[in-house]
Amino acid sequence: MTTVMATSTQKTAIETIDLTVSYGGKPALKGVSVAFPENAVTALIGPSGCGKSTLLRALNRMNDRIPDAETRGKVILNGQDIYDRRMNLTRLRREVGMVFQKPNPFPMSIFENVALGPRLHYGLRGRALQEVVEDALRKAALWDEVKDDLHKSGLALSGGQQQRLCIARMLAVQPRILLMDEPCSALDPISTQKIEELIIELGKRYTVIVVTHNLQQAARISHYTGFLMYGEVIEWGETAELFARPKRPETEDYIRGRFG
């Protein structure tokens, strides 16, 4: 099977090779080989149950959490297969951060939420830690709203702010790849817009991979789009191209809203 590449000029940040993930013997992802270009936003779209979240969660091995999940194939990061027995999960997840569908701030202060990662991963303390926290909150476009309330509970924030706090928490660990699993689906339109702007901004400096069920969102925020169905990649390419001139009839049906 040949790897689907968005463009030949772009450097690859992370790629999958013949990746199959099954839950209790039922395959959710069937031999997927794709490469995610560096410092760009890639959107994963497709109908419910198509395997897009499974693919995302395979990239930082969060599928390990599911008891009957079984993974075959490879995911190559820095020339190394992350499913290799010698792979250290802490190191993997330091490189590959993730935010979830529903904001999940820890029940601690805003500062502590962001500080926890750098403190445990790099042993930062004091002034240096404060600077990292501020930097992460600024990059998550949250600093101005919370700078006077850093000691307040992360759960006291609004849903959209909570999600940006989770993004800041992820950024503070200094990852290079950001995974986002429908990051706006639990948010109101204004919060959604803020997160979308943030994703576009982050895409300049990070490799961002976003699962979304919102096609307009995929079109607005991503450089590349992968369309999945029945656990397989149907079409993969530059977002503008894929939406304007889909090559496969399934893609066309889906983006024209004939099913999904």
Partner 1 sequence: MMELTRAEGTPAIDWESLAARQDARRARKNALLTGVFGAVGLATVLLVFALVAIIAYKGAGTISWEFLTQPPREGMSAGGVGPMILGSLLLMLGAFVMATPLGVFGGVCLAEYGERSRLMRLMHASVAALAGTPPIVYGLFGLAIFVLKFQFGVSLLAGWCTLTLFCVPAIVLTTEAALKTVPAALIDGGLALGLSRWQTLWRIALPYALPGILTGIILSLGRAVGEATPVLFTASVYYTTAEMTLGWDTLRQPVANLPYYLAEGYRQPGVVPERLIWGACLTLIALTLLLNAGAILIRSRMRRRYL
Cβ atoms of 212 and 184 closer than 8 Å = yes
Question: Residue 93 Cβ, how far from partner 1 at the closest point, in Å?
Answer: 4
Residue count at the site for partner 1 (CB under 8 A)? 31
Query: Taking CB under 8 A as the rule, does residue 2 contact partner 1?
Result: no
Q: Which of 21, 124, 133, 166 binds partner 1 (CB under 8 A)?
A: 166
Query: Taking CB under 8 A as the rule, does residue 85 contact partner 1?
Result: no
Binding pattern for the stretch 96-135 against partner 1, x by CB under 8 A and - elsewhere = -xx-x-x-xxxxxx------xx--xx--------------
Rounded to whole angstroms, the Cα distance separating 183 from 102 reads: 7
Q: Which of 94, 138, 176, 220 binds partner 1 (CB under 8 A)?
A: 94
φ, ψ dihedrals at 112, nearest 5°: -65, -35
Residue placing its CB nearer to partner 1 in the complex, 60 or 222: 60
Cβ atoms of 224 and 238 closer than 8 Å = yes
Q: In the β-sheet with 232-238, what is the strand arrangement from edge to edge?
A: 96-99, 177-181, 207-211, 41-45, 224-229, 232-238
What share of residues in the chain are helix, strand, coil (percent, to 5)?
Answer: 40, 25, 35
Binding pattern for the stretch 134-163 against partner 1, x by CB under 8 A and - elsewhere = -------------------xxx--------
Cβ atoms of 45 and 218 closer than 8 Å = yes
Question: Residue 97 Cβ, how far from partner 1 at the closest point, in Å?
Answer: 7
Residue placing its CB nearer to partner 1 in the complex, 46 or 105: 105
Cβ atoms of 95 and 177 closer than 8 Å = yes
Which segment (39-47, 168-176, 223-231, 251-259) binds partner 1 by CB under 8 A?
A: 168-176
Query: Taking CB under 8 A as the rule, does residue 193 contact partner 1?
Result: no
Query: Taking CB under 8 A as the rule, does residue 86 contact partner 1?
Result: no
DSSP per-residue letters across 78-95: TTEETTSTT--HHHHHHH
Query: Taking CB under 8 A as the rule, does residue 23 contact partner 1?
Result: no
Residue placing its CB nearer to partner 1 in the complex, 113 or 217: 113
Cβ atoms of 190 and 128 closer than 8 Å = no
CA gyration radius, the chain: 18
Query: Taking CB under 8 A as the rule, does residue 176 contact partner 1?
Result: no
Cβ atoms of 59 and 73 closer than 8 Å = no
Residue recorded with tokens 């270009």: 37
Query: Taking CB under 8 A as the rule, does residue 203 contact partner 1?
Result: no
The 3-state DSSP class for residue 232 equals strand
Question: Residue 136 Cβ, how far from partner 1 at the closest point, in Å?
Answer: 12
Residue placing its CB nearer to partner 1 in the complex, 76 or 155: 155
Cβ atoms of 20 and 73 closer than 8 Å = yes
Binding site for partner 1 (CB under 8 A): 60, 62, 65, 67, 89-94, 97-98, 100, 102, 104-109, 116-117, 120-121, 153-155, 166, 169-170, 173
